[in-house]
A and B are shown apart, each in its own frame.
Chain A
Amino acid sequence: MQAAMAAVPPLIENAQIADPVRRFLEYVLNKREQGNPVVGVYCGYAPVELIRAMGAVPVSLCSASQWTIPAAEAILPANLCPMIKSSFGFIRTNACFFYAASDAVIGETTCDGKKKMFELIAHLKPTFIMDLPQLPDDTEVLDRWRKSVLKLQGFLEKTLQTSLSADRLEAEIRETNRKNRLMDRFFAYLACRPIPVSWREIYDVITLEHVANGDEFQDLIEKISSSIDQRIALGQCFGTFSSPRILVSGCPVGGDACKVLQIIEEAGGVVVAMEACSGMKNYFVRITEESSDPLRAVAESTLSIPCSCMTPNRRRLDLLDKMIARFSPDAVIDVVLHACHAYNVESHKIRKHVQKKHGLPCLKIETDYSKGDIEQIRTRVEALFENLELKK
């Protein structure tokens, strides 16, 4: 059913569209040549507006490849999150271009595994650890987090030999909001049944956002929208009206973990929303503009990201409510990476919430970046879809 899409023209005419990593690499290389410093980050809690306002390029250092895990396991325990192992393995084998290109590195204390891994790499680059609060709703937490962001500003000013102006920060806040609103226009297509966009294209568009400024992204979204409008007019879509629509939630699903998305597709399902930070979560954030304290506005927006490292993480349930209402999935698949205790424990709450409040089935898949469990995952996903069929 989805093989028919081979005839559909790609969303963007670009020789590199099939390889988002290469596109990102070229972007970073160009920026460096133009004299812009590079700042490595590990997650969305690092305020990218602050980094960009200093003329630097933020790059994500999270890796999702099985390839570097054996090298990592020579030092790290095997029973650790594969994302931490993969990221560390790339650095240990000098295979991470983005790390090598970074003039400074920001580590966020999202979990114990990452926190301790940062200790093992901190001597290699100027590294700043952001002490992330865990109780985002507590009083005075925002003040404390703002102080961390202010400390980061000091670290970056010193390391990059530059200074931050409030106007530049305000301009970057507007830029993020603009890009997030544009992204929202693209996300609107994911609500269509049948869906005119594949999960690979969702990731493609997300990567494009990282390598484009507001004007460029506006231009890209216009082009992408007209390509999709054309698809809709021609009746070109992924799956059929009755293909199971899946919201994928949980841990970041990139690189080798994309096997889960691939299995969903092969079993006849379509991915209509991806909640994780590798997907759509961060684009729903809006930063307060024109405030008297743009640093606080940035701190507030990052702190609102509903990651399972926060407790209680009520905002994730609210986000799922909104995503379910908007993208009308038939089921939720919660992906947990091995040894990610926070998402693993929270999965029980997610399942109960999704079943009780929305009457949707929820399947938890615990996996890593290896290929060894593909058939076991397939059995679970197929059973889920067969059961959806019976209920129709």
Chain B
Amino acid sequence: MRIAGIDIGSRTVKLAVLEDGQLILSRNTMTSYNPLATAQELMGDAVFDVITATGYGRHLIKGHLDCPVISEITAFARGARFFSSDCRSILDIGGQDTKAISLDQEGNLRKFEMNDKCAAGTGRFLEVMATALGFTIEEFSKAGLSAGKAVKINSTCTVFAESEVVSLTAQGAARDEVALGIHKAIVSRSIGLLKKVAVPGEIFFAGGVAYNDCVRVLLEKEMGQPVFVPSDPQIVGAVGAALSSL
């Protein structure tokens, strides 16, 4: 049987199809102003027997496909175990949410914490900050990693931090050092959530921000725990949704 999961997030829509415990299809695209149409386009010719939806657009899809839905928290808890069979602490930094989740040994949800309604310190925050500094996302991460020291950024509110960055560059602060400061700010905010739930051992890092090496390296250093990033960190929620179709 082919099981599918669709994760309609704030920035991207992800589709995963599994067969016999193997991930056979993985697709993602940017979320548009019409997430339903985007999701339908993404599903396109994909063949599957059952599908489960997760992410912010889950109820929208439910109304259309009449499929089951699960929350992103349960989806990430399930999906993480697919990529790392014994992981117990999960950090997901997506487009507008940061989630920290811990599991018990059997993989059941133990605790979770989520950021409040604003997108402070999430993927969207990094995008806006990179643009403010004239970097692409890839350059932004590299700049952070190469900086010798960081300029302190006090705000993780996207709006406030952007003004702060503008002020700092106006004062002549080095671009790389500001980049590192921004990465540190996002990491310290995530750690605030993670420390409330995490257990010792490896941290499973998922979501689009997990592609950012600078965030991963800082996270490892600050938490003092190894951080594991799966090959496709964005697909974890969709895989978790697919697994719950069983």
A interacts with B: yes
Question: Contact residues of A with B, CB < 8 Å?
Answer: 366, 372-373, 375-376, 379-380, 382-383, 386-387, 390-391
Are B71 and A383 in contact, CB atoms less than 8 angstroms apart? yes
Give, as a whole number of angstroms, the nearest-CB distance from A264 to chain B: 14
Pick from A375, A379, A380, A382 the residue with the most CB of B within 10 Å: A379
Are A383 and B73 in contact, CB atoms less than 8 angstroms apart? yes
Question: Contact residues of B with A, CB < 8 Å?
Answer: 56, 69-74, 97, 108-109, 112, 114, 116-117
Are A373 and B116 in contact, CB atoms less than 8 angstroms apart? yes
Main secondary structure of the interface of A (DSSP, over half): helix
Cβ-closest chain A residue relative to B112: A383
Are A379 and B73 in contact, CB atoms less than 8 angstroms apart? yes
- Complex alpha-carbon distance, A380 and B111, angstroms: 11
Give, as a whole number of angstroms, the nearest-CB distance from A252 to chain B: 20
- Complex alpha-carbon distance, A383 and B58, angstroms: 13
In the complex, chain A residues whose CB is within 8 Å of the CB of B117: 372-373, 376
Are B108 and A390 in contact, CB atoms less than 8 angstroms apart? yes
In the complex, chain B residues whose CB is within 8 Å of the CB of A383: 71-74, 109, 112
Q: What would 15 more interface pairs be, CB under 8 Å, given A379-B71, A383-B71?
A: A376-B116, A379-B72, A379-B73, A380-B71, A380-B112, A382-B69, A383-B72, A383-B74, A383-B109, A383-B112, A386-B74, A386-B109, A387-B74, A390-B108, A390-B109
- Complex alpha-carbon distance, A376 and B71, angstroms: 10
Ordered by A's residue number, 23 sampled pairs between the chains whose C-beta atoms are within 8 Å are A366-B116, A373-B116, A376-B97, A376-B117, A379-B56, A379-B71, A379-B72, A379-B114, A380-B71, A380-B73, A380-B114, A382-B71, A383-B71, A383-B72, A383-B112, A386-B70, A386-B71, A386-B109, A387-B74, A387-B108, A387-B109, A390-B108, A390-B109
- Complex alpha-carbon distance, A391 and B112, angstroms: 16
Give, as a whole number of angstroms, the nearest-CB distance from B101 to chain A: 9
In the complex, chain B residues whose CB is within 8 Å of the CB of A391: 108
Cβ-closest chain B residue relative to A381: B71
Cβ-closest chain B residue relative to A364: B113
Give, as a whole number of angstroms, the nearest-CB distance from B184 to chain A: 25
- Complex alpha-carbon distance, A386 and B71, angstroms: 8
In the complex, chain A residues whose CB is within 8 Å of the CB of B71: 379-380, 382-383, 386
In the complex, chain B residues whose CB is within 8 Å of the CB of A387: 74, 108-109
3 pairs of A and B residues whose beta carbons are closest in the complex: A383-B73, A373-B117, A382-B71
Are B108 and A376 in contact, CB atoms less than 8 angstroms apart? no
- Complex alpha-carbon distance, A390 and B70, angstroms: 12
In the complex, chain B residues whose CB is within 8 Å of the CB of A366: 116
Cβ-closest chain B residue relative to A368: B117
In the complex, chain A residues whose CB is within 8 Å of the CB of B109: 383, 386-387, 390
In the complex, chain A residues whose CB is within 8 Å of the CB of B108: 387, 390-391
Cβ-closest chain B residue relative to A379: B71
